[in-house]
Structure 1
Amino acid sequence: MHTIVRFFQMGGFFMFPILMVLAAGLAISVERWLHLTRVKKDNSQTWDQLQPVLAAGDFDRARDMVNEDGSTIAQMLSMGLARQGAVRRREDIEIAMEESLMEIIPQLEKRTPYLALLSNIATLFGLLGTIMGLIAAFTAVATASPAEKAALLAASISEAMNCTAFGLMSAIPLLLIHARLTSTTGQIVGSLEMVSVKALNSISTFAKRAY
């Protein structure tokens, strides 16, 4: 702990903005991870219940189920099933679900892009802190005696580099978390698209039988 505190103190003023950026990034990461995990779980449970109902062609019951469910998959299917009894064309039902999906995707991606931005900001703060530290170091060396210059310059540069190191230590995890959250969001969107196709196929199958 003493080493960490010493490392932080040696980095100078810009260590604090980097720390705040890291804290904001981690807060967003935790919130998004919990949200996406909950969405995946709710979608999986909802689809397990809906799939046999749709396969049996009981669309009235399916409409009741999705209207009572708060998951994103139910939100999307409710738009399609609402059109199922009113229109005959598959394209109309498909457009309704695509419209719903366009509303869902921004909610899934919400705040995730900020992680990449915060990662870049942490890196830039680290570089800025190092540059300011080097400016201060060379200013101090200019007034130092020749015998002290080398030792003073080496110590000052070492301290200035702490800011860059901390900036990179903050930026790299945020980038990795951003990539993971983006991948998870893509998986959820892919599963929603797959479900919409399966629901459309079930609706079309029973529509053909009705005629």
Structure 2
Amino acid sequence: MIEIFLSGGPLMWPILLCSLAVVGITLERLWTLDAQKIAPRHLLAQVWGWIKNNQLDANKIKELKQSSQLGKILAAGLSNSRHGRDIMRDTIQEAAAEVVHSLEQYLGALATIAAVAPLLGLLGTVIGMIDVFNTITEQGTGNAGALAGGISQALITTAAGLCVAIPAMIAHRIFIRKVDSLVVIMEQESIKLVDALHSDRRVEGKGY
């Protein structure tokens, strides 16, 4: 295996670095993008229980903010809930934008690797073919070993680049889809809180 790697030429090293980056980012995102950690199912019910029991205070909001990404969004809205529905929604949207940015962390790098890795393989192919033609120019077509070495280098780097790019592209698509799903869940939970909180206040204001 090491011999095959070394026979691919110097461009195998940046391809190897790309593969390590793909593995690292994939493992990190798998750990980070856990739906239960980001948007716990019970969180909104817990918050509504605090509100109903008059337990919601600065400490509870701080606890909520530190609990999860969804908690951070809900805490931002609750901190400004007394300023009206529109202000609360705007605050939630600002907090959500920060959360989405954190969820998408490293996904741009993953997409870049998916695009660059096959180009590195292609560059290795070009370099290998240049070596082949130089060998033909200097020695003619009689040295089959030298010709095979250049062709082998070209094929190995191409294959290595594709072997890195394909998993990187698949992982990128999966994580983007997962982030989109999490964003929808957090948006739905936030809307429920805004609607429930302000409709409840309107009813109280009418004396019902």
Q: So what's the TM-score if we normalise by structure 2?
A: 0.87
Q: Which amino acid aligns with 1:162?
A: I
For 1:50-129, list aligned pairs within 5 A. 50-51=44-45, 53-54=47-48, 57-58=51-52, 60-63=54-57, 64-69=59-64, 70=66, 71-84=68-81, 86-87=82-83, 89-129=84-124
| Residue in structure 1 matching 2:193, options 185, 188, 199 | 199
Q: Which amino acid aligns with 1:29?
A: T
For 1:39-54, list aligned pairs within 5 A. 40-45=35-40, 47-51=41-45, 53-54=47-48
RMSD: 2.2
Pair 1:190-2:184 in alignment: yes
Deviating 4+ runs (over 6 angstroms):
none
Flag the 1:137–1:145 CA change in 2: closer, same or farther, 3 A: closer
| Residue in structure 2 matching 1:29, options 11, 23, 26 | 26
In structure 2, how many angstroms separate the alpha carbons of the residues matched to 1:62 and 1:24? 43
Q: CA deviation at 1:176?
A: 0.6
Identity of aligned residues (%): 27
Structure 1: which 5+ residue stretches go unaligned?
none
In structure 1, how many angstroms separate the alpha carbons of the residues matched to 2:148 and 2:53? 75
Q: So what's the TM-score if we normalise by structure 1?
A: 0.85
Q: How many residues align?
A: 202
In structure 2, how many angstroms separate the alpha carbons of the residues matched to 1:42 and 1:10? 45
Q: CA deviation at 1:9?
A: 2.4
Which residue of structure 2 lines up, in the alignment, with residue 133 of structure 1?
A: 128
Q: CA deviation at 1:157?
A: 1.5
Which residue of structure 1 lines up, in the alignment, with residue 166 of structure 2?
A: 172
Contact 2:117 2:161 in 1 (8 A): yes
Q: CA deviation at 1:57?
A: 4.8
Q: Which amino acid aligns with 1:27?
A: G
| Residue in structure 1 matching 2:203, options 192, 203, 209 | 209
Larger CA deviation: 48-57 vs 107-116: 48-57
Q: Which amino acid aligns with 1:153?
A: L
Flag the 1:42–1:61 CA change in 2: closer, same or farther, 3 A: farther
What SS does structure 1 have at the residue aligned with 2:33?
A: helix
Q: Which amino acid aligns with 2:36?
A: K
What SS does structure 1 have at the residue aligned with 2:42?
A: helix
In structure 2, how many angstroms separate the alpha carbons of the residues matched to 1:168 and 1:108? 27
What SS does structure 2 have at the residue aligned with 1:191?
A: helix
| Residue in structure 2 matching 1:20, options 17, 21, 24 | 17
Q: CA deviation at 1:159?
A: 3.1
Structure 2: which 5+ residue stretches go unaligned?
none
Contact 1:54 1:62 in 2 (8 A): no
Q: CA deviation at 1:66?
A: 3.7
Q: CA deviation at 1:112?
A: 1.0
